[in-house]
Structure 1
Amino acid sequence: MVAIEIGAATAAAMSADPIPREARRVLHGLASAWSDVADSRELEVVPLKGAMTNEVFQIKWRTSADDSSAPRKVLVRIYGEGVDLFFDRDDEIRTFEAVSRHGQGPRLLGRFPNGRVEEFIHARTLSASDLRDPDVSALIALKLREFHGLNMPGPKKVLLWDRLRNWLKAAYSLCSSEEAKEFCLDMVEDEITNLENVLSGEDQRVGFCHNDLQYGNIMMDEETRVLTIIDYEYASFNPIAYDLANHFCEMAADYHTETPHILDYSKYPDLQERERFVQNYLSSSGENPDSAEVDNLLQNVEKYVLASHLHWGLWGIISEHVNDIDFDYMEYARQRFQQYWQRKSETFG
């Protein structure tokens, strides 16, 4: 999910009351407990754009008669349609709460039937260009290593391959025979199995992975330069090489253009960038990795790029049929599958 504020004119054109009644009850209860809020029912709703799974809103309350005082803010997330095909919402809530207990993300402030209220992080969301800044990239590598080391509840088993098979079944059940033929879905089961067989034989380091580390899911406090990773809907235990591969793939995207679904793979990081990121990642805990360790992880990352393309290609096909958000999911899926077949021949010959 990516979110930025939209203009007042656009906001006015949207529904007069996009916040569900149940959510307003939660918001009223929160604001009533804050003594500095002037009127708990007098709130401002600011739609945020760029989300590809949920609707997201910033909620503000005036805190005094002085217009210059900082307002109270929270974030309201209204869940998108069809997300139960991608992940279990109860599991995602438990993950959200556990990450928060580790001090790694926003606090959960309240829940309602089709969404939740979260702490508003006072930091800016990164941009696509930030990922190419060597200093910011180094901070991301350090934060990702920290995230991978979180002691999370539940079995610490790799989820990737089961998820791909489940999503393939969902894609088959939703798309037309023409779409299934276009994306060669009858071949994907074997592709998943072949990838699993090849990669499971490698020396794998498994950690708690974000699995969706695009720029919009990383926030930075400009004063302290502290990063916060947000949105854990797809988070699970996986090979850390997969998480790095997915992050590198996201450098091809800019979700805040007129064509947010278009990917530019000329922006995929070159070997020098990838080496720098892996070196920063491995050395972040005080280790001094040798060149063989760096090279081994780099090679695994490049193989897991294929799994990332299958993952988001299937996600795009499913989303096209269950989500009403204004995003060309099918074209996005086409690009990911095209990259899969192209990179497969380059990676394995």
Structure 2
Amino acid sequence: MEEKLSAAAAAPAGLPGRRGQPAVRCLGIAVDEDNVRPGALRLIRELRPQWAPERVKTKLFTDGITNKLMACYMDEGMADAVLVRVYGRKTELFVDRENELKNFQVLRAHGCAPNLYCTFQNGLCYEFMQGMALEPEHVRQPQIFRLIAWEMAKMHAIHANGSLPKPSLWHKIHKYLTIMKTDLITKASNPRFRQEVPSLEVLEQEVAWLKESLSQLGSPIVLCHNDLLCKNIIYNETEGHVRFIDYEYAGYNYQAFDIGNHFNEFAGVNEVDYSLYPSRDTQLQWLRHYLQAYKQLSRENQGSGGGVISDQELETLYVQANQFALVCKAKI
């Protein structure tokens, strides 16, 4: 994709702000995901015109799975860094970019996301969060997982007890099946493929069974991150907090999905070892911190809710999270 800027699109437009937030600038620039730097620097000239172009430094992050991410900065400590995130090709097939932007703005309004500087034709620019992207060994540490439980509860409590949409899980799964359908049909004549991969009909039956079973667990619908891998958690040791990044999959979903999905991440992503999946004792500690925070924050947001956590509700959430952990490894 060539970097380009049309005369008509060059003038900054704005997307409506949310909850009193300023409108988000829209820049008519496209950035080549195979050569991010030139397009990133063009964006910086728009966003930081006071920066001397020859002094701008860049750093390309390599941990992204579906997107390219580059930091542009002047300060050696990257305290002033602007992140340029370029969407991966064809990711619009399974990521609703308009919904991502809305959720980004909602999360920012509630102190759960960084400042959003602008959108461009195939990406976003936003504030750099100081800290360390976590690894599986970090999220198992009690002093860190308490912070993660609190931050997740903060996100979940944003619209707690309100009238919320249906969970996104089933829509996303059916969307993936639709994308896979042609490939499944094409390869169905291959005996080895048929032996190793279930047919579309079998997969659809399994989804129907999952929906019937999991819908009966009674997990509340909340605003979820839905992709809380370790690398999406930034730990700031100096300030003593964690923050979540990357809201591509954020949306309304089952509370227990977000928790169960995160528990899966204890086992790793590329090299999975389920002996590292959190023990019952570890989960109960995590869930108690989460419920304490969720009740406190929900009460602050809605003016209601009790603060005492019973053994029964702790056990209920434990069961729900582990049921959803079985389905959420597929990532919605």
Matched, 1:25 2:42: yes
Aligned partners of 1:71, 1:50: CA distance in 2, in Å?
A: 20
Corresponding position of 1:51 = 64
- In the TM superposition, residue 249 of structure 1 has moved relative to its aligned partner by 0.5
Q: Pick the aligned partner of 1:197 from 209, 212, 223.
A: 212
Aligned partners of 1:16, 1:156: CA distance in 2, in Å?
A: 37
Which SS does the other structure have where 1:273 is aligned?
helix
Corresponding position of 1:224 = 239
Q: Deviations over 1:123-174 (max 9, x none)?
A: 2222221101011111111111111112399952211111111111212224
Gaps of 5+ in 1: 1-14, 63-67, 255-260, 316-349
Aligned partners of 1:108, 1:74: CA distance in 2, in Å?
A: 10
Matched, 1:291 2:311: yes
Corresponding position of 2:30 = none
Corresponding position of 1:319 = none
TM-score, length basis structure 2: 0.78
Structure 1 residues 69 and 161: alpha-carbon distance in aligned structure 2, compared to 1, 3 A threshold: closer
Q: Pick the aligned partner of 1:252 from 264, 267, 270.
A: 267
Structure 1 residues 180 and 277: alpha-carbon distance in aligned structure 2, compared to 1, 3 A threshold: farther
- In the TM superposition, residue 262 of structure 1 has moved relative to its aligned partner by 2.2
Q: Which residue identity is paired with 1:151?
A: H
The 5 A counterparts of 1:151-170 are 151=159, 155-170=164-179
- In the TM superposition, residue 299 of structure 1 has moved relative to its aligned partner by 0.9
Aligned partners of 2:89, 2:157: CA distance in 1, in Å?
A: 32
- In the TM superposition, residue 213 of structure 1 has moved relative to its aligned partner by 0.8
Equivalences, count: 282
TM-score, length basis structure 1: 0.75
Aligned partners of 1:79, 1:180: CA distance in 2, in Å?
A: 33
Structure 1 residues 42 and 161: alpha-carbon distance in aligned structure 2, compared to 1, 3 A threshold: same
Q: Which residue identity is paired with 2:268?
A: A
Aligned partners of 1:165, 1:238: CA distance in 2, in Å?
A: 15
Corresponding position of 1:115 = 123
Is the contact made by 1:55 and 1:80 (CA closer than 8 Å) also made in structure 2? yes
Corresponding position of 1:104 = 112
Is the contact made by 1:76 and 1:116 (CA closer than 8 Å) also made in structure 2? yes
Aligned partners of 1:44, 1:17: CA distance in 2, in Å?
A: 15
- In the TM superposition, residue 202 of structure 1 has moved relative to its aligned partner by 2.1
Is the contact made by 1:28 and 1:41 (CA closer than 8 Å) also made in structure 2? no
Structure 1 residues 71 and 169: alpha-carbon distance in aligned structure 2, compared to 1, 3 A threshold: closer
Aligned partners of 2:78, 2:261: CA distance in 1, in Å?
A: 37
Is the contact made by 1:100 and 1:107 (CA closer than 8 Å) also made in structure 2? yes
Matched, 1:273 2:285: no
Is the contact made by 2:256 and 2:317 (CA closer than 8 Å) also made in structure 1? yes
- In the TM superposition, residue 277 of structure 1 has moved relative to its aligned partner by 0.9
Q: Which residue identity is paired with 2:58?
A: V
Identity of aligned residues (%): 27
Aligned partners of 1:120, 1:70: CA distance in 2, in Å?
A: 8
Gaps of 5+ in 2: 1-32, 297-306
